Structure formats: C-alpha cells, structure tokens
Amino acid sequence: MAERPADATVPLSIEDLTVDYGERRAVDGLSLALRPGEIYGLLGSNGAGKSSTIRSVVGLVRPRSGRVRVFGLDTSVDALRAKERIGYVPETSLLYEALTPREFLEFIAGVRRLPAAAASERMRAYALAFRLESELEEPIATLSSGTRQKVLIIAAFLHAPHLLVLDEPLNALDPRSVRIVKDLLVRYAASDGRAVLFSTHTMAVAEELCHRIGILDRGVLRAEGTLDELRGRAAHGDATLEEVFLRLTQEDEGLPAAVALLEGS
Amino acid sequence: MGWRDAWRLSRAPFTEVSFQAIYAFRQGNLAPPDPARTLVPRARRRTAQSKALVGFVLGLIALGGGVLLRAGPGASSTLAAYALPPAEYDAGVLTGLLSIDVALLWWTGLQVLPTFLASGALPVLETLPIDETTLRRTASIVYLRLFDVPAVVVLVTTPLFVGLALGPFAGVAAVPGAVTAVAFALALSFVTGRFFVRKIQGSRGGGGRTVVRWAHLLLWLVPAVAVLGFVSAGPVFFTVLSRAASGGPPAILEVFEAAYPFPLAMLPSLASSGAHGLSLDAGERAELAVTSAGYFALAVYASRWLLGSVRSVARLPTAVSEPGPPPRYELRPQTPSLAILTKDLRTASRTPGYAFLILLPILDSVAIGLVTLADAPSHAAAQSLGLAAVVAAALLATFFGPAFFSIEVLAYSYGRALPLSNRSVILGKAALIVMIYLLAGLIVLGITLVRVPAPWVFAGFVAAELPAVVAAALLQLGILFRWAQARGVPVPNLYAGAWSALIVALPGLAVASAPLVVYGWLGFVGMAAVSLGELAVCAPLTLRRRGP
C-alpha cells in the first residue's frame, strides 16, 4: 500500500491503529483525523478503547500496528517532537504525589524548556482562575482529586500546546471549574490552527462542545461525524446524543428488560 | 470472627500490597504488556522471592556470626589485637549480629511502608460489616506478613547458629535477643511509618521547609543505619570493650550493660561454660537480669501495642499541612536533566525509603570519618580508613542506582507523555549518584583532614574513582531503561523488586569495584586508567541517541 504523505497542518491523524493488551484487543483498526480548530469527542462505553487510543497518541502505549501522526510527525519515529506539541490530561489524576503543585509545574516547565517568565505568568493566571492559590505549596498527596485534576489541566496548558489530548478531563471537577475548562477548550480550539481530542462518556458534554464525535464500541469506530450526521446514521431525526449512541452501539438492546429486572429486585 | 477469619481476610489486602509494590498502578505506573491473568501470580511470586532474599541475607549474617563465635577472638589478627576474653568477644559479636538484624528488618519495613500506606488495601475492609476485633487482627496480620520470612529466619537462625557455636544452652539464651530484635524492628518500622505520614509526607513546599524535612528524615534515619554504624564503629566498640574487660573504668561496662542489645547479647555467654562462660558477681548478675528482663518486657509491650495499632495507621487521614505564607507564583524551570534531579531530591525529601538511600552512604561516611578521627592509631591508618570510607560510599551509591530509577515509576504514565528523552532522565539520575558519592568523599576529607598526612592523595583517590562511579551509574540506568521499554518498569520498590534490583546492581558494582581492585596493584595511574576506560565504554553505550 502506498504511504500517504504527511500533512503538517493536520493536528492529528490516526491510521489503522490496533492496540492489544496480551490476548485482548482494545483498539481494532481505528482511523480518524482531526481538523485545525476542531474539538473532536471520542465517545464510548467503559472498555470501548477510548483511553487506549489516547494513550497511543501520547506515546504511553505501543500499538500493535497502525500509525499516529501529530502535525505530520510520526509518533513512532519522532516521538519527542510530537510530544512537544501535545498537552495531555490523563484519565486518572496520576502525578508526582510527593511534589507540591508549584514544584510539579516547575518540573513540567523545565522538561518543556519554557522561559521562566512565561511559565510563571501562565501558572499564576491558571492558578487564580481555578482558585488554587492556597494549595500551591501543599504536597499533591494531600489534595482532593478535583484539585489534582486542576493541576493536571494547568500542566497541559502550561506550554500552550498545539494539540490538546484529554482523557475524561472533567471528572471530579466542581461546576465552576467545569465551566472554565469548557470555555478554555472552545477558545483554545478556535485559535491558531489548534485542535482538541477528548474522550468522555458524558453525552451532554460531547453534545455541547464537540464539532465532531467518534463513537467507539469494543475497539471499533462505529460512526463518526457531527451530531446531525450521527442522527442521520441512526435514522433518528430529533434524537439526543444518548439515544443515537445507544442505537449505534446497539447497547439499547435488552435495556427495558434490564431496568425491569432491577425494578423487580 | 476469630483469628482464622482474620487470616483469611488478610489474604486480599496482602495480595493488594504485593501487587502495588510490584506494579505501583496507584502511583501512576503502566501495566506491562503481559496477559492480565499472569500479573497477580507474578506479584505474589516476586514478593515471596524478595522476602526469601532478605531472609537469605539475614540467615547468612547469622551464619557469619556463628562462624565468628566458633572461631573465637583469634579468628583474625585484627580481632586478636584487641586481646578480648572469649566471653566479652562473644557478647561483642552477638551485639553486632542483633544490631544488624534490627537494622535490616527495619530497612525492609522502610521499603514497603509507603506502599502499605498508599495501597488503600485496609480501608476497603473498613467499609464492610466486619467487627472491630477482626479488623484489628486482620490489619496486624497483613503487617506481620510483610516481614514473615525474614522475621522467622532471625528467630530460628540466631539461636541455631549461636547454639551450634557455643552449645545448646547458649542457643536457648540467644532466643530473647532474637525475639526482641524482631519486635523492636517491626515496632520501629511502624512508628517511623506513622511519623512519615504525619510529619514528612504532608510538609508544605518552599520557605526553607525542605531543610526541616531533611532534618526530620535524618533524625528518623540515624537509627536505621545502625548496621553500618556498628560495622564502621566496630573498632571503637571492641577497644572500649577490651578496656572494660581488662579492668578499665567500671562505668563503661555499666553503660554497655544497659544499652540495647548488649545485655541480651551477654546472656549466651552467661549460659556457656568454660572459656566462653562469663563470670559475674551477684550484683552484676542482678543488673544484667534486670536490664535483659526490662528489654524483653519492652519488646512484649511493643508487640502488643503494635498489634493493636496497625489498623490506626491504615486509617490515618491524608496528612494535612499547616497554613503557610502566601503562594509564590514564580517558576524557575531548569534543564530537563536538572529538572529530573531536583524532582528526585524533592520526592526523596518526602519519601523516607528514597531519603534513606541517599543519606545512607553519607551517614556512613560521617561514621567512618568520626571513627577515623577518634580511634585511628596513626596517620597512615587514618588515611586507609578514609579511603575505605570513600570505597564504601562509591559502592553504596552505586548499589542503590536501581532504586533511584524506581522513583521514575511514580507517575510513570504521566512522565512518559512528556517530551523527555531517556538521555535526560539517565543523566539526571546519574548526577544524583555522583552527587552522593562526591558529598560523601568531601565529608570524609573534611572530617579526617587533621589526621590524613597527604590530603592530595585522598583527593586523587576520590577523583580517580569518580569516572567509574559515573560509568557504573550509567550502565545500571541504561540496563533498566532497556528493560523498562521491553517489559515495563522492573523495580517499583526494593521490597518487592529485590531480585531485579540485585541483578542490575551487580554489573554496576563490578564496574565501580574494578578500579578499587586495580589500585592495590597499580596505584593511581592504573586506577584512573581503568576508571576512565570504563566510562569511555559505558557512556556511549548508554547515552547514544535512540528513541524516547
């Protein structure tokens, strides 16, 4: 098969990605591409392959086959340069718990070789926006999961990345912070050819934020498009995203029976 | 529910501690690319292997103690020079043996306690309808299972080898010493673990608190280096013992009789007959009986207190630090390698298991330096002791290389998403090892300056060994990185990953030792040549640019 030329303006392209964990296949031949200025939502049930896809993009998982390109850079060949362009928020708030948020962000700024003044100014702005001032010198081990999530979000934005990759980023956040992150993502994606890939199983968030949505089911991309396009695929003109999702993944099958079973218990 | 139910209940939380000790998922490590069904059995197997390894080392030390007892004070010319009567010599050897037992068991506890606390294994049980007594017993059993094999080895081998060397009565008389060693070590591990949660883990950043934290860690770790302290201070100990035995100031002997573990170490001599038998007058016997009984009673109390308290540490709330000054918004980014070094030092300052590894070679150097200052009979001997201190620092700093790598396991999944090359990480960690070595060397030089006749020889020795230390660190870290990329991170912590750590530490130790061996034959020139040659081979091997 002839190799497609890399397009440096495409924020993210995934071609025929397959990820295995031992004998279990987590992602099966996934292909998708993000356009500049786009917020792309990966939607799926638990274990659908969302996190495995995201981990492959940020270099945490070595795929069995397939290719991931970030602004034309093949992540298997040019991983460091690709990672320089990515800001990543993991699914679980895994940080260096023995550090304080300020020490952690200082470490990130060092690794990303950021100028001190710019890094300090950004950290200050985000810390104030998230009301993190009183926790900046507390060890991360002592912080709540929501506060840790805020630290991870600041770390992801600290270098003003070209591609944001977020795995369930709104988990554990308070309503105010959720609003801030949503606004940030919308404004961020609209500027300077950037793009956002984020996974969620919260339909309302995907419906509100995403320009396009990819529905993953057992490692396979079942459908992709705008909300209207997905409604068309599901032959459901005025359906909510939840109804579209359940129909496309065929997870609505047996739903009434399951509810009835619970009612009878 | 009884003890049987508590034992049954303890299986799941103990497996969880083993699992987290190996894979550290809660700390951000990634699952290795192996079938999921193999992970738990492997965690159990590796934990058992590590415990067996620690047990084997303790057994070997007990065997060594038995051999020394059997051989008597004339075992070597060095020991013979102290002219100790057999009974005092036996008590001295047993004191060393029991000190090492306490220190090694305590050290094992230090390695696993952060995982024990962070695993969340016990709080899961708290939410279930299980009565208070069973929960308390289950927590105690989980804690005891962390030490089971090493503790049993101490309890069995110490009396066994003492008995074989000095007779069956002496063997029986060694039992209280072994029991107290195990009880004190387990209780000290627990107390220091609790101290860690309350005072260190929750300590705020900035404002000079790092210095206070390291001071806390130092206080906390000083007793844990008893093993090296004792070995380093051995000559002083035997000198004092010799003076006391030959009619020196009685106050010295009384101090010895009161200090742990000496009274318990004297019991086998008391139970022996002939040349190894200790002859004490009635007053001394009474004094020894009181102090021994006191320590034994204290050990019983510590055990009872421990069994009743383990549950509380598992339920400790996350440490909350005191309010501090207004926040600083200033970031001072460093180069990636320096950022790694700073991050590791900050992590170690809140993680006693790592702080221990950094402080051990340094404290050992302080101990040997002070002994050199106080006891070395001549300037030449002082120089030899000083060089020995540097050798110890080089080997210790190198030996713990794999453990410094394991800091990287913390938040590994996040760290790997950063644009951080292996080269930067390896250089950062090698810098830490080199820093420890140089600091230890400088400390010895500083302390012994008045006794060392030719400081430049000493400085030359430190400098000549330096490239070998760098080479050893690079070699170990390079192996670990290749290992990590192929099979996942291999050394989450030393408690469970002892085999992996040992396998990687050995080639590093060989590289660090080679110039020291050559020094004996070829002097500085040969030493420096070998040292530089090793660096010339290891550096390109490890630091050549590859994938991330």
User: Rounded mean pLDDT of chain B?
Assistant: 79
- Among B196, B209, B331, B422, pick the best mutation site for testing chain A contact (most A Cβ within 10 A): B331
pLDDT tens readout for residues B78-129: 666 666 778 778 888 888 888 888 888 887 887 777 778 777 777 777 777 7
DSSP H helices in B315-351: 336-349
Residues of A in contact with B421 (CB under 8 A): 80
CA dist B226 and B217 (Å) reads 15
- B297: pLDDT strictly greater than 90: yes
* Residue A39, strand partner residues: A196
At B244 the pLDDT is: 64
Identify the H or E element spanning A198.
strand A195-200
Question: Could you tell me if residue A178 is inside a domain?
Answer: no
CB neighbours of B146 closer than 8 A, spacing ≥ 6? B14, B17, B108, B109, B112, B116, B495
- CB-CB contact of B66 with B159 (8 Å): no
CA dist B467 and B473 (Å) reads 10
pLDDT, mean of residues B418-441: 88
Backbone angles phi, psi at A42, to 5 degrees: -95, 120
CA dist B44 and B46 (Å) reads 6
> How near does any CA of chain B get to the CA of A86, in Å?
9
Name the nearest CA neighbour of B22 among B393, B495, B429, B395. Answer: B495
Question: Could you tell me if residue A105 is inside a domain?
Answer: no
Q: pLDDT-derived band of residue B528, with 50, 70 and 90 as boundaries?
A: very high
At B547 the pLDDT is: 47
- Among A61, A137, A144, pick the best mutation site for testing chain B contact (most B Cβ within 10 A): A137
Question: Could you tell me if residue A62 is inside a domain?
Answer: yes
Pick the residue from chain A with its C-alpha nearest to B25. A94
pLDDT, mean of residues B243-264: 70
CB neighbours of B171 closer than 8 A, spacing ≥ 6? B159, B160, B162, B163, B164, B268
Beta-carbon separation of A124 and B321 below 8 A:
no
Question: Could you tell me if residue A81 is inside a domain?
Answer: yes
CA dist A197 and A166 (Å) reads 6
Residue among B329, B335, B343 whose CB faces A127 most closely: B329
Question: Could you tell me if residue A237 is inside a domain?
Answer: yes
> How near does any CA of chain B get to the CA of A30, in Å?
20
Range in A37-46, A112-121, B267-276, B515-524 the model is least confident about = B267-276
ipTM: 0.81
Beta-carbon separation of A142 and B321 below 8 A:
yes
Distances (CA, A) of B151 to A187, B51, B65, B157: 61, 10, 17, 10
The tally of domains found in chain A comes to 1
Question: Could you tell me if residue A50 is inside a domain?
Answer: yes
Beta-carbon separation of A99 and B351 below 8 A:
no
Question: Could you tell me if residue A91 is inside a domain?
Answer: no
At B378 the pLDDT is: 65
Beta-carbon separation of A94 and B414 below 8 A:
yes
Write out residues 339-378 of B within 8 Å (CB-CB) of A: 339-340, 342-343, 346-347, 349-351
At B15 the pLDDT is: 84
> How near does any CA of chain A get to the CA of B127, in Å?
20
CA dist B92 and B78 (Å) reads 14
CA dist A183 and A229 (Å) reads 25
- B158: pLDDT strictly greater than 80: yes
- CB-CB contact of B488 with B22 (8 Å): no
Beta-carbon separation of A22 and B33 below 8 A:
yes
pLDDT, mean of residues B333-347: 89
Distances (CA, A) of B352 to A204, B76, B205: 45, 38, 16
Residues of A in contact with B342 (CB under 8 A): 106-107, 110
Residues of B in contact with A110 (CB under 8 A): 333-336, 338-339, 342
CATH number at residue A35: 3.40.50.300
Pick the residue from chain B with its C-alpha nearest to A82. B419
> How near does any CA of chain A get to the CA of B326, in Å?
7
Pick the residue from chain A with its C-alpha nearest to B352. A98
At B548 the pLDDT is: 45
Instruction: Select the more confidently predicted residue: B177 or B198.
Output: B177
Q: Any idea what DSSP says for residue A48?
A: S
Name the nearest CA neighbour of B412 among A136, A55, A144. Answer: A55
At A65 the pLDDT is: 93
- B430: pLDDT strictly greater than 50: yes
Question: Could you tell me if residue A106 is inside a domain?
Answer: no
- CB-CB contact of B472 with B512 (8 Å): yes
Pick the residue from chain A with its C-alpha nearest to B350. A98
Beta-carbon separation of B331 and A106 below 8 A:
yes
At B151 the pLDDT is: 95
Beta-carbon separation of A120 and B336 below 8 A:
no
At B490 the pLDDT is: 52
DSSP B272-289: --GGG-----HHHHHHHH
Residue among B31, B205, B335 whose CB faces A110 most closely: B335
DSSP A94-149: ---TTS-HHHHHHHHHHHTT--HHHHHHHHHHHHHHTT-GGGTTS-GGGS-HHHHH
Q: Radius of gyration of chain B from Cα atoms? A: 25
Cβ burial, residue B78 (10 Å; 0-12/13-18/19+)? exposed
Report the 10 Å Cβ neighbour count for A20: 18
- B27: pLDDT strictly greater than 70: no
- Whether the link from the prior residue into B261 is cis, omega within 30° of 0, is yes
- A107: pLDDT strictly greater than 60: yes
User: Rounded mean pLDDT of chain A?
Assistant: 87
Quote the domain boundaries for residue A203.
Answer: 1-85+194-250
